[in-house]
A and B are shown apart, each in its own frame.
Chain A
Amino acid sequence: MMSGFEEPSDVNGPQHFEEHPSVVALLRGETCHIARAVKQRQVTAVAVCQHALHSIKRLNPSLNAFLNVDESRVLEEASEVDRLVESGLPVGPLSGVPVAVKDNLCTEGQPTTCASRILADYRPPFDATAVDRLRGAHAIILGKTNMDEFGMGSSSEHSAFGNVKNPWDLERSPGGSSGGSAAALASGMSPLALGSDTGGSVRQPASFCNLTAIKPTYGRVSRFGLVSYASSMDQVGPMARSIRDAAALLSVVAGRDPKDATSAVQEVDDYLAACELPIDGMRIGVVRSQVHRAQQEEVVQGVERAVDALRARGAKVVDVALPHAHLAVSAYYVLATSEASSNLARFDGMRFGLRERRASLAGTLQATRSEGFGAEVKRRILLGTYSLSAGYQDAYYKQAQKVRTLICRDYAAALQQCEVLLTPTTPTTPFRLGEHMEDPLSMYLADIYTLPISLAGVPSVATPVSEAGGLPTGVQLTAAPFREVEAIRAAAALEEALQTKGRIADLALSI
């Protein structure tokens, strides 16, 4: 049943291994240097991956960031890249770069559990398009990362396979739902990661772990092979320790995909070039009403630090309003749960995944779903079913769809007055593990800044603004649809001004 999870023997347990300081340094730096070193045969992809696997063995038992690592497949794929390089054949932009992949992105033949019991033994017969494109760029899929079950949560505590710890403070949550990808990056286990973002699931963990993440415009990255939660908001998002790494990863996964009818036709922009553009005269819109709602002084100070840094670099700071954004928590939790209740109907124990066999069809269905889903997933399915049910649909589902229109209009109007909106990412620094577990509503309210952006479908970059030594906090830079370049440009300026690139929690390294 749960083979490979109760005792993830291929992930844990130290082994003798001689580390080379130059490869360790390479893995802690920017990924363009890894790819270049592999291409120029200064290091082998196998050596890079062996070092990454070694750090996973050392650190993962304390962090629980990875659910599954197939060591022999990693090394096999790395040696294939080395063979290509040796033969002088062209290799992709991420040649030999290990990438941690959230466990709701399908990987052919390798477990894809969504951190759910119902998919504990599922091995997809295909790759997600984002994963396929990573392989096409000669990146190495390092392993599958832990998360809130089906992406439903903001702390990575709603995992059927144990919670994830924040490398910056092991008593705190790394955020969620892409908490495993965030912890893998912040601890130095992986130089690059993919997450997914429905209501903030790459941005909030980035903020909690001093990382950069991009939630692309809805439709910018194919959703094919991303296990659906709320299909009108789900997006695959790159996570990294620098804006350039995140931009490089977005360049690889973005673009039209015939397998996803909702993927956008627009040309993909040059995201790496955007990192080099100055921000002179760029208009940055600050949403003061959101800043005032922050619950901690550190968050407000982080926003002010960002405002000052951007202004010092020549940006023009203006005040803008999002008059309906405060309704986003209610609108999102109606719409996302409604979509989830429909999407998760596919888990019926008939074609794949867990089956709890009973005498009747109805009995089998109910037993499978009740045994297979965790408490938060059941709560959301019930909330969504309630919102969609006869008698309540007008007051909840339809009303929330109309409020969504108001929120979309807010963003369209605000983004006429500026190129980029600046808001906090989270109302607090990372909360403690268990802090919100007894009160689901309080966990939902912690998503207050990420949700309106998800409802509007606009692109947003989350980037760190905390001072070294303090608890992590970040800001979101949000642009008009398909104007990722503007948000990336502002994030690159901010990263340089505040020196937030390449932060690794050395606390974790001393475990």
Chain B
Amino acid sequence: MSQSSSKEPLSVSEQEVRSVAKLAQLSLTEPEVAQLSTELGRILGYMQELATAGVTQVPPTLHPVQDHEGRRKDVCRPSLDRELLLREAPEHVDGGFAVPLVLESE
């Protein structure tokens, strides 16, 4: 039983897929772009049902259950050991994370 074919797919162009991928810092191959344009179109097509809900006077929900203390006091606590944290770094230098050049000249 296929429910998924019951709604019209939305058109998501390959150019749109590429620009969203760029925002998400993902590089996609051409076959991936083509496939995602179809898949995202079908999923987003299904999601058009959201527009049918009458929500003009309805506030948004960000968290469903509110029963926490809110903000804690700003108190210093010991943090994890530097050596332990650097153990997981792909590269480190002089007690810090080593990263590629951030400001590039173009």
Residues of A within 8 A of B (CB): 122-126, 217-219, 232-233, 256, 258, 261-266, 295, 324, 327, 329-331, 333-334, 341, 345, 348-355, 357-367, 369-370, 373, 378-379, 381-383, 385-386, 389, 395-396, 398-406, 408, 439-442, 444-445, 455-458, 481-482
* In the complex with contacts A352-B89, A441-B4, A399-B51 CB distance below 8 A: yes
Instruction: Chain A residues near B81: list those with CB within 8 A.
Output: 125
User: In the complex, are the beta carbons of B60 and A402 less than 8 A apart?
Assistant: yes
A-B contact pairs, 16 of them (CB 8 A): A125-B81, A125-B84, A256-B69, A262-B68, A264-B68, A331-B50, A348-B25, A361-B101, A369-B26, A378-B32, A382-B17, A402-B59, A403-B50, A440-B39, A441-B39, A482-B65
How distant is the Cα of A408 from the Cα of B61 in the complex, in angstroms?
Answer: 9
Sorted from nearest, which 5 A-B pairs have the closest CB atoms?
A: A457-B64, A401-B60, A355-B90, A402-B55, A352-B88
User: In the complex, are the beta carbons of A382 and B36 less than 8 A apart?
Assistant: yes
User: In the complex, are the beta carbons of A402 and B58 less than 8 A apart?
Assistant: yes
* In the complex with contacts A330-B46, A385-B20, A445-B3, A406-B89 CB distance below 8 A: no
User: In the complex, are the beta carbons of B60 and A405 less than 8 A apart?
Assistant: yes
User: In the complex, are the beta carbons of B49 and A385 less than 8 A apart?
Assistant: no
Taking the closest CB of chain A, its distance from the CB of B59, in whole angstroms, is 6
Instruction: Chain A residues near B24: list those with CB within 8 A.
Output: 341, 369, 381-382, 385
Taking the closest CB of chain B, its distance from the CB of A451, in whole angstroms, is 12
Instruction: Chain B residues near A351: list those with CB within 8 A.
Output: 85, 88-89, 97
* In the complex with contacts A125-B87, A334-B47, A360-B101, A405-B23 CB distance below 8 A: no
Contacting residues of chain B (40-86) with chain A, CB-CB under 8 angstroms: 40, 42-44, 46-47, 49-51, 53, 55, 58-65, 67-72, 80-81, 84-85
User: In the complex, are the beta carbons of B4 and A442 less than 8 A apart?
Assistant: yes
Instruction: Chain A residues near B89: list those with CB within 8 A.
Output: 350-352
Taking the closest CB of chain B, its distance from the CB of A419, in whole angstroms, is 18
* In the complex with contacts A366-B26, A389-B23, A457-B65 CB distance below 8 A: yes
* In the complex with contacts A232-B62, A359-B100, A361-B104, A261-B46 CB distance below 8 A: no
Closest chain A residue to B89 by CB distance? A351
For residue B93, CB closer than 8 A to chain A, the reply is: no
Known: A125-B80, A369-B25. 8 other contacts (CB 8 A): A232-B63, A329-B46, A330-B46, A351-B88, A360-B100, A363-B100, A381-B26, A442-B3
User: In the complex, are the beta carbons of B88 and A402 less than 8 A apart?
Assistant: no
Instruction: Chain B residues near A441: list those with CB within 8 A.
Output: 4, 39, 42-43, 46
Residues of B within 8 A of A (CB): 1-4, 12, 16-17, 20-21, 23-28, 32, 36, 39-40, 42-44, 46-47, 49-51, 53, 55, 58-65, 67-72, 80-81, 84-85, 87-91, 97, 99-102, 104
Name the one of B2, B25, B88, B91 contacting A366, with C-beta atoms under 8 angstroms.
B25
* In the complex with contacts A369-B26, A382-B36, A360-B104 CB distance below 8 A: yes
Closest chain A residue to B21 by CB distance? A382
Name which of A324, A445, A455 has the most chain B CB atoms within 10 A of its CB: A445
User: In the complex, are the beta carbons of A333 and B47 less than 8 A apart?
Assistant: yes
Closest chain A residue to B17 by CB distance? A382
Name the one of A334, A361, A440 contacting B100, with C-beta atoms under 8 angstroms.
A361
User: In the complex, are the beta carbons of B53 and A382 less than 8 A apart?
Assistant: no
Name the one of B27, B43, B58 contacting A367, with C-beta atoms under 8 angstroms.
B27
* In the complex with contacts A381-B26, A401-B60, A442-B4, A219-B65 CB distance below 8 A: yes
User: In the complex, are the beta carbons of B61 and A404 less than 8 A apart?
Assistant: yes
Instruction: Chain A residues near B102: list those with CB within 8 A.
Output: 361
Closest chain A residue to B86 by CB distance? A351
User: In the complex, are the beta carbons of A383 and B53 less than 8 A apart?
Assistant: no
How distant is the Cα of A421 from the Cα of B53 in the complex, in angstroms?
Answer: 24
Name the one of A350, A378, A406, A408 contacting B64, with C-beta atoms under 8 angstroms.
A408
* In the complex with contacts A354-B90, A359-B100, A405-B59 CB distance below 8 A: yes
Name the one of A122, A354, A482 contacting B67, with C-beta atoms under 8 angstroms.
A482
Taking the closest CB of chain B, its distance from the CB of A382, in whole angstroms, is 5
Taking the closest CB of chain A, its distance from the CB of B105, in whole angstroms, is 11
User: In the complex, are the beta carbons of B23 and A385 less than 8 A apart?
Assistant: yes
Taking the closest CB of chain A, its distance from the CB of B50, in whole angstroms, is 5
Closest chain B residue to A352 by CB distance? B88
Taking the closest CB of chain A, its distance from the CB of B55, in whole angstroms, is 4
Taking the closest CB of chain B, its distance from the CB of A430, in whole angstroms, is 16
User: In the complex, are the beta carbons of A361 and B72 less than 8 A apart?
Assistant: no
Instruction: Chain A residues near B23: list those with CB within 8 A.
Output: 385, 389
